[in-house]
Amino acid sequence: MSDTRTRRSFLKESALFAAGAAALFPGEQAAADHEAALQFAAAGGKQDDIRIGTLVQSHMNPPVYIREILHHGFESFQITFWKDIGDSDLDRMAGEVREVLADSDAVISSVAVYGNPLGGRPQDEDTIRSWEMLIDKAHLFGCDIVAGFTGRVIDEPIDQSIPRFKEIFGPLASRAADKGLRIAFENCEMGGTWKTGGWNIAHNPAAWELIFDALPYDHIGLEWEPCHQLVQLIDPIPQLRKWAPKVFHLHGKDATVQWDVVRTYGIGGARPFVHHRTAGFGDTNWTEVISIMRQAGFQGCIDIEGWHDPVYKDELEMTGQVHSLNYLKKCRTVFVPNPEA
């Protein structure tokens, strides 16, 4: 091999060939993407700054589930818990997940718990303890983000939850900072409004202002997706341009607004006017989302949140998720190195 054709150049060219072959032979897309990623990493070249992955719910037995779907080409996984971690053995789970991922380039993007740590009920105390445990054990999964709902003082206006929010998340923020972790609050309204609700206050930009005023730390941010803005008839793109520096993690979920229903029946009628969609089937241009995030210097993961789409569900669930995976990879584009001359 000549001096001008270095090992690094050879590996980069090989990766480009693999990417081109994947485009010509879609059935081999996942394998080609995976091989290209490994070659780039081995060469010391630029790895994808934005990974595309999916959510794995804790009740699915994450190590087994990840092993079953890894070959589709998912590059990251968020492991999620509903309300609390229950009797999950996080040390064992993390070890088994690391073993599954050992021969791949995929990573665990984050761990998350979605409950109401501000509610004051016994079950909400379990959610607080789960936040503490995930902060303490996140390093075992190799990730630096713990995500979830802020919680909410039940059926009180959002601003009335801020003192309780600061009381609970002040110590959690310190705990995370001590371990070099970031906290990301999901922007899901969970049926709530400004005036009332029972799960989460981090679903509106005015609420984000209050949250980040209460905890003005660089390691406190958002877990964002356009879906939860569209269901409020908020245009997600201008919002993201403003808030991108505070977005630590994205969910690959979108929505379809049925404007004919809005115009005919309004938003409070008997007919639903909006549907949650897996990314790639909804109203949002994800090429623009990714461009905005790159302009903001984002390096992280977009993890697909399935199990909501009204069409690609049940036996079509993985069909929808893999379509979303390939769609988001297209929106991300394929890295092509500049000439070295």
pLDDT tens figures, 183-213: 999 999 999 999 999 999 999 999 999 999 9
Helix (H) or strand (E) holding 93: helix 90-101
Q: Which residues, 6 or more positions from 135, have their beta carbon under 8 angstroms from its beta carbon?
A: 146, 172, 175, 176, 179, 181
Global pTM? 0.86
Q: How many domains does the chain have?
A: 2
Confidence at 341, pLDDT banded by 50, 70, 90: confident
Q: Which residues, 6 or more positions from 335, have their beta carbon under 8 angstroms from its beta carbon?
A: 40, 46, 48
Q: What is the mean pLDDT of residues 255-274?
A: 96
Confidence at 335, pLDDT banded by 50, 70, 90: confident
Domain shared by 119 and 187, yes or no: yes
Domain shared by 11 and 116, yes or no: no
Report in angstroms the alpha-carbon separations of 244 from 4, 269, 276: 41, 34, 22
Is the pLDDT confidence value at 291 over 50?
yes
First and final CA of the chain: distance in angstroms? 18
Domain membership flag for residue 341: no
Confidence at 53, pLDDT banded by 50, 70, 90: very high
Domain shared by 31 and 127, yes or no: no
Domain shared by 195 and 260, yes or no: yes
Helix (H) or strand (E) holding 292: helix 286-295
Q: What is the mean pLDDT of the chain?
A: 89
Domain shared by 27 and 83, yes or no: no
Confidence at 39, pLDDT banded by 50, 70, 90: very low
Domain membership flag for residue 84: yes
**From CA 234, how far away is CA 240, in angstroms rounded?**
11
Is the pLDDT confidence value at 13 over 80?
no
Domain shared by 114 and 197, yes or no: yes
pLDDT digits (tens, 9 = 90+) for 80-134: 999 999 999 999 999 999 999 999 999 999 999 999 999 999 999 999 999 999 9
- Phi then psi for residue 235, to 5 deg, are -75, 115
Label residues 52-91 b or e (16+ Cβ within 10 Å = b). Answer: bbbbbebeeebbebbeebbebbbbbbbbbbeebbeebebe
Is the pLDDT confidence value at 146 over 50?
yes
**From CA 150, how far away is CA 165, in angstroms rounded?**
7
Would you give the DSSP letter of residue 226? S
Domain shared by 220 and 318, yes or no: yes
Of the candidates 251, 38, 252, 62, the one whose C-alpha atom is nearest the C-alpha of residue 140 is 62
Question: Can you give the length of the chain in residues?
Answer: 341
Cα-based angle 243, 244, 245 (whole degrees, multiple of 5): 95
Of the candidates 145, 56, 141, 81, the one whose C-alpha atom is nearest the C-alpha of residue 107 is 141
For residue 286, the model assigns a pLDDT of 98
Domain shared by 155 and 223, yes or no: yes
Of the candidates 124, 191, 184, 197, the one whose C-alpha atom is nearest the C-alpha of residue 149 is 184
Domain span at residue 193 reads 48-332
The CATH number covering residue 282 comes to 3.20.20.150
Domain shared by 168 and 299, yes or no: yes
Question: What percentage of the chain exceeds 90 in pLDDT?
Answer: 84
Question: What percentage of the chain exceeds 70 in pLDDT?
Answer: 86
Domain membership flag for residue 187: yes
Domain membership flag for residue 303: yes
Domain membership flag for residue 149: yes
Q: Would you give the distance in Å from CA 1 to the centre of its chain?
A: 42
Confidence at 78, pLDDT banded by 50, 70, 90: very high
**From CA 220, how far away is CA 173, in angstroms rounded?**
7
Domain membership flag for residue 337: no
Domain shared by 206 and 102, yes or no: yes
Domain shared by 39 and 150, yes or no: no
pLDDT digits (tens, 9 = 90+) for 234-261: 999 999 999 999 999 999 999 999 999 9
Tokens, residue 226 = 């356009």
For residue 231, the model assigns a pLDDT of 97
**From CA 317, how far away is CA 310, in angstroms rounded?**
10
**Pairing relationship of beta strands 247-257 and 274-278 according to DSSP bridges:** antiparallel
Of the candidates 188, 193, 195, 186, the one whose C-alpha atom is nearest the C-alpha of residue 268 is 193
Q: Which residues, 6 or more positions from 168, have their beta carbon under 8 angstroms from its beta carbon?
A: 117, 118, 128, 151
Domain shared by 88 and 122, yes or no: yes
Domain membership flag for residue 338: no
- Phi then psi for residue 105, to 5 deg, are -95, 0
Domain membership flag for residue 254: yes
